[in-house]
Every structure is written in structure tokens, then in C-alpha cells.
């Protein structure tokens, strides 16, 4: 006998059933009830008490339910599940708090004037409508671009050495790049102070600031570029060499263009890394109040310095300005980051 079997429908019988989901909800509800009861009955109070009690109650109840239904192994798994959930919550919560506070406190300072005025004519107690951070934005821009001009070739060449030449210095260089990424920003500032400002120019300038930023940028660019170059399949290099290309031509005309968007990502991440650095700029740039486009002459403002000085002044208005400055800086960092993400996704799908 032959039975006609209807065309089968694909399914996932292992996903949670409504009954299983209901049990999970039940566990959390029970934990909430327990924490409310305990708070009402004991002298514990406050949000901290609720959350801690809720966490422990839910783990204990989850453990018990699993133990009864499935045994000790499953019960231990329930405890682990509780802890990792708390872990991710603690890791992610500060981000939301930070974003929320920055927007809330910096929002009032936003206005057209913010982006077009500088602080040369404003005093500490002026309402936030006066003055702006144009000088800060131009200063940051100038310093970052100069830093990039030096850091980019050094960073990319380092990456090329590590991936293409792979000579006998590879291990020490990798270690050095790692060590350089650990240099505290203030130490970089002190170094430029002692090597450039004191002996040579004897005055603070934007260029000095750039040099310190450059030191902080190089490791980021080098590391990201190295990762990107490693992703280029070796067939590409072999094809170049098989066509009779010399090594430098192969690298310059085949490998690097293939990694183009990834290298741009590396540069963007390098910029994001230094855009918010404060300590070296405090030591080296003087934090000017007016727009100064000359990096070699005179103090230059920057977003981090603007924020720092406003915060230091302590008045209600200046603190509001500081928050606005933070908001602008955050928007810039976010934009850079999103751009870098977008570029690296595109590269993968191409």
C-alpha cells in the first residue's frame, strides 16, 4: 500500500514553545513579587535593593524550577544564564545613561550660533547663546589633519612590513606597536613638550598638539591596517607577481588598492581615537579662544580643550557650554564610527 504524504513544511521543533515561554515569564514575575515582599518587610530600601533582590530571587527560582524538572546540570546552566544576563546589562547600561545625559544636558546649548561663533568676545558668565565653538572645531580639524598626514604613512607602512615583507623585525615591531598603544596620552604630551616645545619653539602651538596626537594615532592605524591587509587573499598577490610585477609594484598597485576601503576605515578609526584626547592638548596647545588656522603660531583651541576649560570655569553657563561641547564631540565621533562601520561592511560584501 502506498500512502500519499502531503508536502512537508520545514519547522523548528526545538524553539521554545508557548508553555516554555510562559514558565520563564512566571519565574520573573515570581522573582519580582518576592523582591517587593522582602523590601516591604525588611529595612532594605531603594532601587539598588529591588534590583539586587530581583536578581537573586530570579536565579534561585530559575535554579529550583530547572532542578526539579531536569536535574542539577540544567539547574547550574540556569545560574550561569542569570549571571551572563546581568553581565551584559551592566556592560550596556552605562552607554544609555551617558547618551541620555549628554543629550539632555547639552541640548539647550545647540543653536546656529554655536557652530559659527568663537569665544573671543564672550565672558564666563555670558548666557549660552553668546559665543560658540567654531574655534574649537577648526582647531581640532587642523590638528587632526596634520597628525593624520604623518601617522597615515607610518601606520600603513608598518602594516605593510608586517604583512608583506614579514622580515626578521616582525615580532619586535608587533610588540612595539602594542606597547605604543599603551602610552598614556599625558606621557605623549610630556614627550613633545621636552623634545619639541622646550628646545625648539619655546611656545605652545597647534602643531605641537598634532605631534602628540600622531603618536597616539599610529598604533590604531597600524593595527587596523594590518588586519585589513591580512584579509586580502594571497591569490591576488600571487597573480601580481606571476604577471612579472616586482614586489613593490604588486603591493602598491594590486594589494593596497584592493584594501582601499579597509585602509580608509583604519584612518577613520585613528581620527576617532584622537578627536577626544584632552591631556596632551592641555600641555601643548594653550587652548585659544579665537579661530586660529595657523598651527605654527599661537595657541589653538580644540573641542576637548573647549570642554575642559568650560568645565574648569565652574559657572552654570560654562558648564552648560561644556555639555554642548561634549554633545558636538560625541556626534562627530558617532558619525566617524558609523562611517567606518559602513565602509567595512561594504568591503565584506563586495
Partner 1 sequence: MTNENEDNMDKTTTKPSSLSDVAAAKQKKAPGGQSLGVGLEARGVHAWFSGKHVLDGISLDFWSGTVTALIGPSGCGKSTFIRTLNRMHEFIPGAQMAGEVLLDGKDIYESGTDVTKIRLKVGMVFQKPNPFPSMTIAENVLSGLKLAELKTSNKDELLEDCLERAGLWSEVKDRLNAHGGSLSGGQQQRLCIARSLAVKPQVLLMDEPCSALDPGSTLKIEETISHLSSSMTIIIVTHNMQQAARVSDYTAFFLSDGGPGSMIEVGPTSEIFSRPRDTRTENYVTGRFG
Partner 2 sequence: MTLLESKPADIPAPREITTKPRVSDKIFRGVVTAGGLSSLLILGLILIYLTYQGYDVLKSQGFGFITGSEWSLVEDESGNIDLNQTKFGIAAMLIGTILCATIAVVIAVPISVLAALYLTFYAPAAIRKFMVSIIDLMAAFPSVLFGIWGFFVLMPSAEYWAKLLHKYLGFLPFFDMQVPVFTRSPFVAGVVLAIMIIPIVTSISREIFGQTPLDRIQAAFALGATRWAMIKAVVIPYGRSGVVGGAMLGLGRAMGETVAVYTVLNIVYQINWQVLLGAGGNVASMILLKFGEAGEGEVKALMAAGLALFILTLLVNFVADFIVKSSGAKGR
- Restricted to residues 153-212, the positions that interact with partner 2 (CB under 8 A) are 153-154, 156-158, 160-162, 164-165, 167, 169, 172-173, 175-180, 182-188, 190-191, 193-195, 198
| Residue from 58, 61, 63, 76 binding partner 1 (CB under 8 A) | 76
Cβ 122 vs Cβ 130: under 8 Å: yes
3-state secondary structure of 286: strand
Task: Output the smallest distance, CB 21 to partner 2, in A.
Answer: 13
The answer to whether residue 51 forms part of the interface with partner 2 (CB under 8 A) is: no
Cβ 278 vs Cβ 271: under 8 Å: no
Cβ 318 vs Cβ 340: under 8 Å: no
* Burial (0-12, 13-18, 19+ Cβ within 10 Å), 162: buried
Cβ 237 vs Cβ 253: under 8 Å: no
Go through 60-91 and write b for each residue having 16 or more CB atoms within 10 A of its CB, e for each that does not: bbbbebbeeeeeeeebeebeeebeeeeeeeee
The answer to whether residue 96 forms part of the interface with partner 1 (CB under 8 A) is: no
* Burial (0-12, 13-18, 19+ Cβ within 10 Å), 113: middle
Binding map of partner 2 across residues 255-294, x = CB under 8 A, - = no contact: --------------x--xx-xxxxx--xx-----------
Residue placing its CB nearer to partner 2 in the complex, 116 or 194: 194
Task: Output the smallest distance, CB 6 to partner 2, in A.
Answer: 31
The answer to whether residue 21 forms part of the interface with partner 1 (CB under 8 A) is: no
Binding map of partner 2 across residues 212-231, x = CB under 8 A, - = no contact: ---x--xx--x---------
Q: How far is CA 162 from the centre of its chain?
A: 25
CB under 8 A: which stretch of 13-21, 24-32, 111-119, 142-150 binds partner 1?
13-21
The answer to whether residue 67 forms part of the interface with partner 2 (CB under 8 A) is: no
Residue placing its CB nearer to partner 2 in the complex, 177 or 228: 177
Query: With contacts defined by CB under 8 A, how many residues of the chain interact with partner 1?
Result: 21
Residue 187 backbone dihedrals phi, psi, to 5 degrees: -65, -40
Dihedral sign for Cα atoms in the order 102, 106, 110, 113: negative
CB under 8 A: which stretch of 5-13, 212-220, 231-239, 325-333 binds partner 1?
5-13
The answer to whether residue 73 forms part of the interface with partner 1 (CB under 8 A) is: yes
Point out which residues bind partner 1 (CB under 8 A): 1-3, 5, 8-14, 17, 19-20, 69-74, 76
Amino acid at each position: 500500500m502506498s500512502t500519499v504524504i502531503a508536502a512537508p513544511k520545514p519547522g523548528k521543533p526545538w524553539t521554545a514553545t508557548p508553555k516554555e515561554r510562559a514558565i520563564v515569564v512566571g519565574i520573573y514575575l515570581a522573582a519580582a513579587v518576592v523582591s517587593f515582599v522582602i523590601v516591604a518587610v525588611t529595612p532594605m530600601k531603594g532601587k539598588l535593593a529591588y534590583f539586587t533582590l530581583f536578581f537573586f530571587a530570579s536565579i534561585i527560582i530559575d535554579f529550583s524550577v530547572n532542578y526539579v524538572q531536569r536535574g542539577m546540570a540544567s539547574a547550574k546552566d540556569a545560574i550561569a544564564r542569570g549571571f551572563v544576563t546581568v553581565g551584559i546589562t551592566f556592560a550596556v547600561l552605562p552607554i544609555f545613561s551617558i547618551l541620555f545625559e549628554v543629550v539632555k544636558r547639552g541640548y539647550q546649548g545647540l543653536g546656529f550660533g554655536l557652530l559659527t561663533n568663537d569665544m573671543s568676545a564672550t565672558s564666563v558668565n555670558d548666557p549660552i547663546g553668546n559665543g560658540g565653538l567654531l574655534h574649537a572645531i577648526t582647531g581640532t580639524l587642523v590638528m587632526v589633519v596634520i597628525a593624520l598626514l604623518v601617522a597615515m604613512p607610518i601606520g600603513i607602512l608598518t602594516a605593510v612590513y608586517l604583512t608583506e615583507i614579514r622580515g626578521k623585525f616582525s615580532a619586535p615591531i608587533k610588540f612595539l606597536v602594542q606597547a605604543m598603544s599603551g602610552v598614556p596620552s599625558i606621557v605623549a604630551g610630556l614627550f613633545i613638550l621636552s623634545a619639541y616645545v622646550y628646545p625648539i619653539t619655546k611656545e605652545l602651538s597647534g602643531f605641537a598638539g598634532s605631534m602628540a596626537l600622531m603618536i597616539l594615532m599610529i598604533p590604531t592605524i597600524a593595527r587596523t591596517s594590518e588586519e585589513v591587509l591580512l584579509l586580502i587573499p594571497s591569490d591576488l598577490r600571487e597573480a601580481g607577481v606571476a604577471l612579472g610585477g616586482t614586489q613593490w609594484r604588486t603591493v602598491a598597485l594590486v594589494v593596497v588598492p584592493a584594501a582601499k576601503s579597509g585602509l580608509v576605515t583604519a584612518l577613520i578609526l585613528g581620527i576617532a581615537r584622537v578627536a577626544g584626547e584632552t591631556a596632551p592638548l592641555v600641555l601643548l596647545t594653550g587652548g585659544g579662544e579665537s579661530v586660529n588656522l595657523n598651527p605654527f603660531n599661537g595657541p589653538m583651541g580644540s573641542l576637548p580643550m573647549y570642554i575642559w576649560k568650560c568645565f574648569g570655569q565652574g559657572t552654570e553657563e560654562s558648564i552648560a557650554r561644556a555639555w554642548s561641547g561634549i554633545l558636538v564631540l560625541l556626534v562627530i565621533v558617532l558619525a566617524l564610527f558609523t562611517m567606518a562601520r559602513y565602509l567595512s561592511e561594504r568591503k565584506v560584501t563586495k
